[in-house]
Homo-oligomer: A and B are copies of this chain.
Amino acid sequence: MRKGEQTRTLILNEAVALASQLGLEGLSIGSLAERLDMSKSGLFAHFGSKEDLQLLTLKRAQTLFFDEVLSPALKHARGLPRLRALFSNWLGWVKRNDDLPGGCLMLAASVEYDDRPGAVRDLLVAGQRELRGAVAKAIRIAIDEGHLEPHTDPWQLTFELFGIVLATHHDFRLLGDARALERAGEALERLLEAHRAAAPRA
């Protein structure tokens, strides 16, 4: 890897951490440079504009998410086990503090850009659509496997799962309530129980 490319990666990693605390808009080139012991201009040269930096920062966070939440879940058995793994990984992502000290960046950016049209918002929407699709697919597979009852609506269940994660994030981050994780687990179980197939096919 070229020198520039590796410092660029270094910059983006720090940018993800900083943006998770200050938001994508609050993330400033000056403070980012200071954190990395670089000059503002030297850092800026890596990105043509601030929007580029924001987009690449968001993309980096999305990649991290898919690598650490979605991808590992695919290693688990199709159906409920995979769905549970996905949920568990997701909660792990929510509470991770090392490279996301301010909580999920996509979530923060969603609130920030939900009424600000542009490339950032488009990227957020695309990522969210991809995530929803993946969850819904996992649910559909669980139905096919006979783990969930056939009448289960994958999109509705995805919606409710997402709600649990959002509430967990909120309680864990703002209120500092660690019990939110147990609450999330309980909510998941009740949700799955309500849609559990009467008699497993296999």
Contacts and interface: CB of A to CB of B under 8 A. Distances in A.
Given A114-B103, A173-B114, A174-B125, A183 B167 contact: no
A81 interface: no
A187 B160 contact: yes
A182 B62 CA distance: 29
Interface stretch (A6-14, A20-28, A52-60): A20-28
A159 interface: yes
Interface in A146-179: 155-156, 159-160, 162-168, 170-171, 173-175
How many chain copies? 2
Contacts of A113: 174
A26 B186 CA distance: 37
Contact of A166 (B102, B116, B166): B166
A180 interface: yes
A156 B173 contact: no
Interface stretch (A32-40, A70-78, A85-93, A104-112): A104-112
B125 A175 contact: yes
Interface residues of A, number: 43
A111 B108 CA distance: 6
B162 A167 contact: yes
B156 A183 contact: yes
Given A110-B170, A114-B173, A156-B183, 18 more contacts: A23-B111, A23-B112, A101-B115, A102-B115, A110-B173, A110-B174, A111-B112, A121-B174, A125-B175, A156-B186, A159-B167, A159-B171, A160-B164, A160-B187, A162-B167, A162-B170, A163-B164, A194-B194
